[in-house]
Structure 1
Amino acid sequence: MSDLDLDAYCQLMQEIKRRTSVVNLILAEPGRLMFKATAVESMCLQVRKILELIAMGSLVANEEALSRARCGLGKLWSGQQILRRVHGVNPDFYPRPIVELPGSGAIKSHWENKPDGFLTEAQFAEAYARCHAVLHAENPLGRTLDYSAYERDVPLWIASIIGLLNSHTIRLAGNPNLYLIHMQEAETEQVRGYVFEQVGSLPTD
């Protein structure tokens, strides 16, 4: 597989960083958008786009897999439906957040699964549904939205998304390699990725 696969994925992660910056700007200066409703709606649009990029990211280098997953995606309003759709194409689609610890000897570092502080698939589904409720109000005479609740929850979603992606591994559809992704490193704010190539076949029981 070409490094172009990694480049494409890193570009998507860079887009997530840009959209996160937009949300943080609105949180810092909500008055820029004049009204609470427009500020919340704008943030929820960015959060939903971020969630979609997370869900579809592992398919970016596989045109056939991406096409299969996106077929009818626009009609899906449930985060759980979207996750199931992508899981059917690539079971390893969801980023795996890790903690990198110092190694010893020739081993520079070792990884452990991050125990908490990140967006789980269940939280993904909930956040997506909440954003959908804001962006697709079907009954203007129905129950009004609690915009203050969104103002409280959006920062929590963003923090959980950062916790998920800050340092994570991913397997791309149709690609046997493992990718380590750093959303930021000491010397640069650009997303960096590293390839760990699979040697031979995986053992089977």
Structure 2
Amino acid sequence: MSDLDLDAYCQLMQEIKRRTSVVNLILAEPGRLMFKATAVESMCLQVRKILELIAMGSLVANEEALSTARCGLGKLWSGQQILRRVRGVNPDFYPRPIVELPGSGAIKSHWENKPDGFLTEAQFAEAYARCHAVLHAENPLGRTLDYSAYERDVPLWIASIIGLLNSHTIRLAGNPNLYLIHMQEAETEQVRGYVFEQVGSLPTD
């Protein structure tokens, strides 16, 4: 795996952090956008962009896979459809949140799957659909959106996204190696990534 692959993925994660900061700013000072509706719409736009970056992130180093997954993506309003589309290109596309625990001896640390407190694929699909409903209101005379519900739910989505990405592993399309990604470390707020190269072939059933 080239360092360019790692850099490209980390840049996407850095963009997610920036967009998360925008959402947090709006949550802290919703009056900046004057109206509740515009504040909610702005937050939902950022959340949707974040979700799309999560879904497409593992394809960043594979131009062919990225092109295949993005074909017709703009017409998909369902988060489940988007996840299905990307999974067809890279079955291991979704970040795997982990807990890093101290190791012993020569083993610096070991990983365990994070049991909860992160954005699941089902929650991804729900959040994406909810954001779509805000940003693409087809009938302005139809049922009024509950903007207060979005004000309650957006912080929960952001917290779950942070829980998913804070420390996670990811496999890129067409690449056998494994990334370990830290969204922040003690000495820097920059996203850091580490490559674990595959030795030998993976076992088959």
What band does the TM-score fall into relative to the shorter chain? over 0.9
Query: In 1, distance between residues paired with 2:170 and 2:106?
Result: 24
1:113-159 CA-to-partner distances (Å, cap 9, x unmatched) read 00000000000000000000000000011000000000000000000
Structure 2: which 5+ runs fail to align? none
Where 2:168 maps in the other structure, the secondary structure is: strand
Deviation at 1:8, TM superposition (A): 0.2
How far is 1:24 from its partner?
A: 0.1
Hey, what's the Cα distance between the residues in 1 that align with 2:22 and 2:175? 32
Offset, 1:204 = 2.0
Distance in 2 separating the partners of 1:32 and 1:172: 39
Measure the CA separation in 2 of the matches of 1:141 and 1:8: 43
Q: Distance in 2 between matches of 1:203 and 1:165?
A: 28
Q: SS state of the match for residue 179, structure 1?
A: strand
Q: Shift in Å at residue 108 of structure 1? A: 0.4
Note the alpha carbon deviations across 1:85-113, whole angstroms, 9 max, x for none.
00000000000000000000000000000
Query: Which runs of no fewer than 5 residues in structure 1 stay unpaired?
Result: none
**Stretches of 4+ aligned residues off by more than 2 angstroms:** none
Q: Distance in 1 between matches of 2:125 and 2:30?
A: 26
How large is the RMSD of aligned CA atoms in angstroms? 0.4
Aligned partners of 1:139, 1:98: CA distance in 2, in Å? Answer: 42
1:30 and 1:2 mapped to 2: Cα distance?
Answer: 42
CA displacement, residues 156-189 of structure 1 (integer Å, 9 cap, x when unaligned): 0000000000000000001110000000000000
The alpha-carbon deviation at position 45 of structure 1 amounts to: 0.1
| 1:145 alignment partner, SS class | coil
Query: What secondary structure, in the 3-state scheme, does the structure 1 residue paired with 2:8 have?
Result: helix
**Structure 2 counterpart of 1:105:** 105
Q: Distance in 1 between matches of 2:186 and 2:155?
A: 24
Write out per-residue CA displacement over residues 12-69 of structure 1, whole angstroms, 9 at most, x where no aligned residue: 0000000000000000000000000000000000000000000000000000000000
SS, match of residue 131 in structure 2: helix
**What secondary structure sits across from 2:143 in the alignment?**
coil
> Would you say how many aligned residue pairs link Structure 1 and Structure 2?
205
